[in-house]
Amino acid sequence: MSQAAALPDVIKHVERVDPAVVEQAGMFPSSILADVAGRRGALSGRIAALSPSMRVAGAALTVEVRPGDNLMIHVALAIAQPGDVILVDGKGDLGAALMGEIMCQQAAALGIAGVVIDGAVRDSEAIRALGFPMYAAGLNPNGPTKAVPGRVNHPISIGGVTVHPGDLVVGDADGITVIERAKAAAMLPLAAEKVAQETRRIADIRSRQQLRPGWLEGALRAAGVLKPGETL
């Protein structure tokens, strides 16, 4: 029997991204982190915050469920640590809500940083009023079943991205970006420099010193749009 086959469905203890890294990463937009991570790690745009003001940063606690069943999300809430972000691979199914107000109240009381679901939720007005960071693929008033086994703290695929337990999760109005735990700390100085570059670029635009990107003509030559020596 392989080691993978011997793993329990519920893994209670995982190595999480350093809380200090989470704190610093949470200061950057999700778009900046996606850029410096190689323009990867951003979940599909169909998974969006219930309110544009919602922001989240934390370590991934991963959940895989069968469509329309939230049994394993209850397990995740039972073993989660404060600061975790629960990510649920709900298979993109929108036929039933996997979480609502009661579970979000529980998550907030436990200190869970937020929830990201590739599936539906309900009680959206109450969740917005609570201010609990909830990202979901849609809404549905139907309730879920609680009977089908799944897995907790195994690698999942959510919104087109593979996520491992303990990975860095950062989200804002633009969506969710996930960065591998081992790479997260190395992204912070790159993100700071990216912000500085964009700040300078915006200042140049506002002052009208440079309205055209400096890289544009070089990129056009490389693409064969402009011949050598030719300019716009």
At 62-77, the pLDDT tens digits run: 999 999 999 999 999 9
CATH annotation of 3-188:
3.50.30.40
Mean pLDDT, the chain, as a whole number? 96
Is the per-residue pLDDT at 4 higher than 70?
no
pLDDT at 229: 85
Strand boundaries in the chain, DSSP class E: 48-49, 56-64, 84-89, 114-121, 134-139, 151-152, 156-158, 161-163, 168-172, 175-179
Contact indicator for 193, 179 with CB cutoff of 8 Å: no
Domain boundaries, the chain: 3-188
pLDDT score of 139 more than 80: yes
pLDDT per residue as tens digits for the range 177-202: 999 999 999 999 999 999 999 999 99
Question: Burial letters for 184-203: b for 16+ Cβ neighbours within 10 Å, e otherwise?
Answer: bbebbeebeebeeeeeeeee
Q: What is the pLDDT of residue 1?
A: 44
